[in-house]
Structure 1
């Protein structure tokens, strides 16, 4: 959320050389599926010694998710009038001060949206943990459930599987319930023209 919101503010409200080209390159990254970069990603994570660590999974998840979050936040920041930046600049505020004191307080719904999306994307990720973690004690829930044998399961094992699947969905539901007010505000923002 931090990376996406700061980068979105820079792309939306700051002028710098190569801004449009860099933003388009990041958008092109959306067209690259994770599965197509598995081999170089595995080699890189293995080379820098992060294979089998949580950081080795977190960094690629952040890299793959931040582009979508950047797109959402930039669209939100583009909707905030540029006159606010000009007025704050005239009052002597720095660009970070403008971001921190003006844009972040106006972005509660957008931040809640990207928080929920990034949580759900990361929580449901199966490929990267399966690729980068080999210790069963470190498996995330999505990978741990796959350890159950699906062939010749007894009724008790099927019950355990369903219990695990239900437990796996509870954090996503909790995150959604706590952010539901902000998500609804983000959906209805701009729906009524004043």
Structure 2
């Protein structure tokens, strides 16, 4: 019984300290801003500056909404989220726009392997993979040049350089295909990268 009484006393003391810790000035401040005591305690705990607090409220952002960190769900920075909310966008508007952009990007990436097949190395260069990209582009240009030169000198169709060209085109397409697959589905990509690449290479080689 004594132990239980001690616990109750400690709990009551803690609650009292929490209430007492809030000064009259604090209460006047959060009343003036239209905040609840819970919201004010969240602000104090996070040590939020008054300038930031006033900016959030000016933009119509509630403290409860802010501390849910919705920008993490949308995949954008806190500053970007606050800026767009201040521009009049609601969190629903931001979420819808980000989802639409993700769908558009995914749809655009579906054509990346085809573009990479006909333009070896271009997509890699655009992705800042300069060494790999320029190697693919260089091989393609050399193969085309060799094909034109050998065919002209022999005055007959010389297919050998085209084998290197097609191999280079396949390398470029498969490489980008794997990268896109990994970006869209990281877990599945771990198990299918090798199968995807081998299947594409064998199929294209047989057809060639």
What is the TM-score normalised by the length of structure 1? 0.32
Task: Write 1 or 2 for the structure with the bigger share of helix.
Answer: 2
